[in-house]
Amino acid sequence: MRSLNRLGAQPASLPLAADDVLEFHAARLMLLMEFCGTSGRIDGLTKMAKLDFFARYPDFFDIARAAEAAQADGMVPLPNDNRTVEAAMVRHHYGPWDKRYYHVLSHLEAKALISVTKEGKSFRLALTPLGRERAKQLAARPSFTTLVGRLKQIKATFGRKSGTYLKDMIYRLFDQEVSRREMGKVIEQ
């Protein structure tokens, strides 16, 4: 995974996937903080990863949302948006994870787009004023319309839940796909 500025010299014969572009993941995480956080802030890496899991896997989000709807009535049905996986995650100790998070978050922090502070044992990830401005600009681009729509739904469904709640729910609902998956193996839909 590299920044766009470093991809220019890559030979044309080597295929390049969006998943390899650092800014592709950086943008999604910024939008996640903007639309799923509280005033552009998410408390805890675990919560961020679990919300990101739903942002990346639309089908899993639908199932989790349906399970949540059984507890809380009156949910608005989702538009029939794109169902493909945005970027795959792997099974880690606490459920779905992407080891590239540390790279992306450091990158965002270095460019003053987010600030990372420690609150007790967890990290507080917050968009800076520059980060919020750029996140809004990103959200206005047509290419992000579907993703932003899904993020808003994720916020409405799980925005108030803790990281531990989401982790337990993912283990419970996706036993075969996540819990029983071998450590470090890619999670498939």
Q: Is 19 in the site for other proteins (CB under 8 A)?
A: yes
Taking contact as CB under 8 A, which single stretch among the options 16-24, 45-53, 70-78, 165-173 is the one that binds other proteins?
Answer: 16-24
Rounded Cα gap, residues 168 and 187, in angstroms: 16
User: Which among 175, 160, 141, 185 has a CA at the least distance from the CA of 43?
Assistant: 160
Q: Is 147 in the site for other proteins (CB under 8 A)?
A: yes
Rounded Cα gap, residues 165 and 170, in angstroms: 9
Q: Is 186 in the site for other proteins (CB under 8 A)?
A: no
- Distance in Å, CB of 170 to other proteins, minimum: 23
Q: Which residues contact 151 (CB under 8 A, 6 or more apart)?
A: 31, 32, 35, 36, 55
Token pair recorded at residue 152: 């808003």
Contact 40, 135 (CB under 8 A): yes
Contact 85, 92 (CB under 8 A): no
Q: Is 80 in the site for other proteins (CB under 8 A)?
A: no
Q: Is 127 in the site for other proteins (CB under 8 A)?
A: no
Q: Is 143 in the site for other proteins (CB under 8 A)?
A: yes
Q: Which residue has the tokens 């992000």?
A: 144
Token pair recorded at residue 110: 């270095």
Q: Is 12 in the site for other proteins (CB under 8 A)?
A: yes
Binding to other proteins (CB under 8 A) within 21-50 occurs at 21, 23-24, 26-28
Rounded Cα gap, residues 56 and 47, in angstroms: 14
Taking contact as CB under 8 A, which single stretch among the options 37-45, 72-80, 131-139, 170-178 is the one that binds other proteins?
Answer: 131-139
Taking contact as CB under 8 A, which single stretch among the options 38-46, 88-96, 104-112, 159-167 is the one that binds other proteins?
Answer: 104-112
- Distance in Å, CB of 22 to other proteins, minimum: 8
- CA 106, distance to chain mean position in Å, is 16
- Distance in Å, CB of 9 to other proteins, minimum: 4
Q: Which residues bind other proteins (CB under 8 A)?
A: 3-10, 12, 15-19, 21, 23-24, 26-28, 82, 84, 86, 105-107, 109-113, 116, 130, 134, 137-138, 141, 143-144, 146-147
